[in-house]
Amino acid sequence: MEIITQVKEMQKRVEVYRNAGKSVGFVPTMGALHEGHFSLMRQARKDNDLVIISIFVNPLQFGPGEDYECYPKDLDRDRELAEEVGVDIIFAPPPKEMYPQTSSTFVEVERLSEGICGRDRPGHFRGVATVVTKLFNITKPHRVYFGQKDYQQALIIKRMIEDLNFDMEFVLMPIIREEDGLAMSSRNTYLNQREREQALILYRSLKKAEELLDGGERRSEVILEEIREMISKEDIAQIDYIGLYHPETLAEIETVEQEALIALAVRIGKTRLIDNLLWRKKSG
Amino acid sequence: MEIITQVKEMQKRVEVYRNAGKSVGFVPTMGALHEGHFSLMRQARKDNDLVIISIFVNPLQFGPGEDYECYPKDLDRDRELAEEVGVDIIFAPPPKEMYPQTSSTFVEVERLSEGICGRDRPGHFRGVATVVTKLFNITKPHRVYFGQKDYQQALIIKRMIEDLNFDMEFVLMPIIREEDGLAMSSRNTYLNQREREQALILYRSLKKAEELLDGGERRSEVILEEIREMISKEDIAQIDYIGLYHPETLAEIETVEQEALIALAVRIGKTRLIDNLLWRKKSG
């Protein structure tokens, strides 16, 4: 396995593989790798001749007061783990290589970027769409892999690929959870023991909503009221948002019909965690 | 020569050429081809194994009340002329193929898009940057060719290529003029005889500014005052803007030093024409 830090070198290298008829799979990450990331890499390994991942903590997608400065970094550990999973190339550029001072081009996916996390984090998805466009142009993959944990992000990138005619296949992979249900996230490392326990409320909320939907409840407000009450019992948990959304448009749903995305962001102490569950009416 | 109208087919086709080690040159156009376009195609022909041009009148870059509906179209003539110049493939998609209803992703080049033409035509350069990104992803060129006539557009695309890490070479080609000096433009066909005569005022203005600069005048305001007076003598000419700008940043220049872009937009009757001249201090 190799680490490449320069844009031009990465482009030259991948071009050689492509011209030799090799298929290229790409997994963008911000490092601090966990089982969620590995599940994407393993799928990329199965589907492609060459697997590239990027490790780049993208300043453009963090807002003021967010955790850009202290986002967990451990390239040595990431490198070892990525190699075990069978990654061929890690693209790990320094920030100046990705954003020289003159940079002033941005990619925006309207509508989908506005609600849910986009409301709490203005400019976040613009930063994501811009860096992902750059990474696609640098790693030139045939297939790209994103996790359902960041559902809105995945939907935005999928739309962007379609709208801007990127010639690549988008692959969405399921959420990977700890044994007790907590969704894997690099930010889980921020949690102390008490916070770690209360963080379970995210998944428990989603399961509660699922149970109510399975039981025939269709009114979003009734479902959300019940969940809000559950969460309010955790003394250090604070809701950023919680809602039922159309899985394609992310429009809020009042009355659930065939399917719904249940999504939430909750602050556990200072750590903002997100989770979601895609509910579909069981047939028959 | 072939005409391709579908995105996926164009991508598949160009991929075959690239994988065979062929270099690809690309010239985006809105059709109504003239000598300006042909000079780009001839250069592309010299530099590359395969030459692709696109013919697509991009609705996204026209504002309300602009000439989208009546923009000159003659695919049969364009096809013949392109073939004579040695073009291999014309990519000519219908509008719905480029913009399905769900499309909501936009590319923006900040700062450079704001002044000059950007002030008169809000959203214009966003439309240009977005469609050019799409066309780059569809035709996957090694080299792309733009004309200096649309100087601001060329500068924006050059910046976008750098910022978004498109792996391609940007080639800028000089303005091609009629014998009497009028810059070639598809919009020249709108002019009647009297307008055609008065349209010469654009080039004459630029030459006047050049003469003043060569003669040692360095104050933009003095130069512009003189030109404005020249233009005001043409009874159907109306200035949209005229100015001296930094050739890289497009910032307005008060006192010219080593170089300046002299650029202007003038309405001749209902037709908006643009032209420019890059002035550099002669050494020695």
pLDDT at A269: 93
Q: Do A127 and A35 lie in a common domain?
A: yes
Position B181 in a domain: no
Which of B4, B11, B165 to mutate: most A Cβ within 10 Å? B165
Count: domains in chain B: 2
ipTM: 0.95
Question: What tokens does B232 get?
Answer: 């005001």
Please check whether residues A168 and A208 belong to one and the same domain.
Answer: no
Partners of B107 on chain A (C-beta within 8 Å) are 105-108, 164
Counted across chains A and B, CB pairs separated by less than 8 A come out at 92
Report whether A17 contacts B173 (CB < 8 A): no
Mean pLDDT on A29-38: 97
Task: With residue B165 as reference, give the H or E element that holds it.
Answer: none
**Tokens linked to B34:** 């003239």
Q: What is the CATH number of the domain that holds B222?
A: 3.30.1300.10
- Its domain, for residue A120, covers 2-173
Do A158 and A266 sit in the same domain of this protein? no
For residue A281, pLDDT over 90 is answered with yes
Query: Has residue A19 been placed in a domain?
Result: yes
pLDDT tens for each residue of B197-215: 999 999 999 999 999 999 9
The mean pLDDT of A47-75, rounded to a whole number, is 93
Q: What is the predicted pLDDT for the residue at A119?
A: 84
Residues comprising chain A, all counted: 284
Asked if residue A180 is part of any domain, the answer here is no
Q: What's the pLDDT at A238?
A: 95
Tell me: do A138 and A228 sit in the same domain: no
Pairwise CA distance, residues B145 & B139, whole Å? 13
Interface contact flag, A167 B134, Cβ < 8 Å: no
CA proximity to B21, closest of A21, A11, A48: A21
What pLDDT does residue B119 have?
A: 84
Do A235 and A163 share a domain, yes or no? no
Please indicate if any CB of chain A lies within 8 Å of the CB of B7.
yes
| Cα distance between residue B146 and residue B160, in whole Å | 13
pLDDT tens-place string over residues A192-213: 999 999 999 999 999 999 999 9
Q: Which residues, at least 6 apart from A52, have a Cβ–Cβ distance to it below 8 Å?
A: A10, A14, A24, A25, A26, A27, A87, A88, A89, A90, A91, A139, A141
- Across A120-249, the runs of DSSP E, i.e. the strands, are 143-147, 169-173, 237-245
- Asked, for residue B178, whether it belongs to a domain, the answer is no
DSSP for residue A283: P
The Cα of A216 is separated from the nearest Cα of chain B by a number of Å equal to: 32
CA dist A254 and A265 (Å) reads 19
- Indicate if B11 and B143 belong to the same structural domain: yes
Q: Pick from B257, B198, B262, B181: which is nearest to B224 by CA?
A: B262
Whether A129 and chain B come into contact, CB under 8 Å, resolves to: yes
Statement to judge: residues B223 and B146 lie in one domain: no
Which one of A104, A109, A112 has the shortest CB-CB distance to B109? Answer: A104
Check residue B157 and give its pLDDT: 98
Residues A84 and A196 in one domain: no
Which CATH number does the domain housing residue A88 bear? 3.40.50.620
Q: Domain for residue A39, yes or no? A: yes
| B167·A107 Cβ contact <8 A | no
State the nearest Cα–Cα gap between B67 and chain A, in angstroms.
Answer: 25
Facing A19 at nearest CB: one of B21, B104, B162: B21
A283 domain residue, yes or no: no
Please report the pLDDT score of residue B284 as a whole number: 60
Please judge whether B160 and A110 are an interchain contact, meaning their C-beta atoms are less than 8 angstroms apart. Answer: no
Tell me whether residue B35 is in a domain: yes
Which residue matches tokens 């909503």?
Answer: A209
Asked if the model's pLDDT at residue B184 lies above 90, the reply is yes
Is 0.90 surpassed by the pTM of this model?
A: yes
The span from the CA of B168 to the CA of B144, in Å, is 7
Mutation target for B interface from A18, A164, A249, A250: give the one with most B CBs within 10 A. A164
E-only strand ranges, B134-210: 143-147, 169-173
B19 touching chain A per CB within 8 A: yes
Find which of B16, B105, B112 to mutate to test the A interface (most A CBs within 10 Å of its CB): B105
Which residues make Cβ contacts (< 8 Å) with residue A10, sequence separation at least 6?
Answer: A4, A52, A89, A91, A138, A139
What's chain B's average pLDDT? 95
In angstroms, the CA B202 to CA B231 distance is 8
Say if the Cβ atoms of B105 and A7 lie within 8 Å: no
C-beta separation of B256 from B218 below 8 A = yes
Share of chain A above pLDDT 70, in %: 100
Is A120 in the same domain as A11?
yes
Q: Residue window 137-176, chain B: list those with CB within 8 Å of chain A.
A: 137-138, 140, 159-160, 162-167
pLDDT band at B122 (very low <50, low <70, confident <90, very high): confident
Report the C-alpha gap between B168 and B181 in whole angstroms: 32
Domain-embedded: residue A181: no
- Is the pLDDT at A284 greater than 80? The verdict is no
- Give the mean pLDDT of B32-55: 98
Alpha carbon separation from B184 to A230, B175, B266 (Å, rounded): 70, 8, 15
Contacts of A7 in chain B (CB under 8 A): 165
Region label for B40, one of left (φ > 0), alpha (ψ between -120 and 50) or beta (otherwise): alpha
| B138 contact residues in A (CB cutoff 8 A) | 165, 167
Q: Distance between CA atoms of A263 and B213, rounded to whole angstroms?
A: 63
- The answer to whether B83 and B126 have CB atoms below 8 angstroms apart is no
- Residue B7 has what DSSP assignment? H
Q: In this structure, are residues A45 and A19 in contact, taking their beta carbons and an 8 Å threshold?
A: no
> Does B223 share its domain with B161?
no
Q: What is the pLDDT of residue B103?
A: 87
Q: Which of B61, B135, B43 is nearest to B98 (CA)?
A: B135
Question: Do A230 and A98 fall into the same domain?
Answer: no
Q: Tell whether B128 and B240 lie within a shared domain.
A: no
Three-state DSSP class for residue B51: strand
pLDDT of B65:
87
pLDDT higher than 70, residue A1: yes
Q: Say how far apart CA B33 and CA B54 lie, in whole Å.
A: 11
Distance CA B233, CA B173 (A): 32
Residue B101 has pLDDT above 90, yes or no: no
Residues in chain B within 8 Å Cβ distance of A167: 11, 15, 137-138, 140
Of the candidates B82, B89, B85, the one whose C-alpha atom is nearest the C-alpha of residue B141 is B89
- Partner-chain contact A167 B137, CB within 8 Å: yes
Instruction: Taking residues B24-48, report their average pLDDT.
Output: 98
Rounded to an integer, the average pLDDT of B117-138 is 93
Pairing of β B259-268 and β B169-173: unpaired
Average pLDDT of the segment spanning B34-61: 97
Please tell me what DSSP assigns to residue B258. Answer: S
Q: How far is CA B96 from the centre of its chain?
A: 24
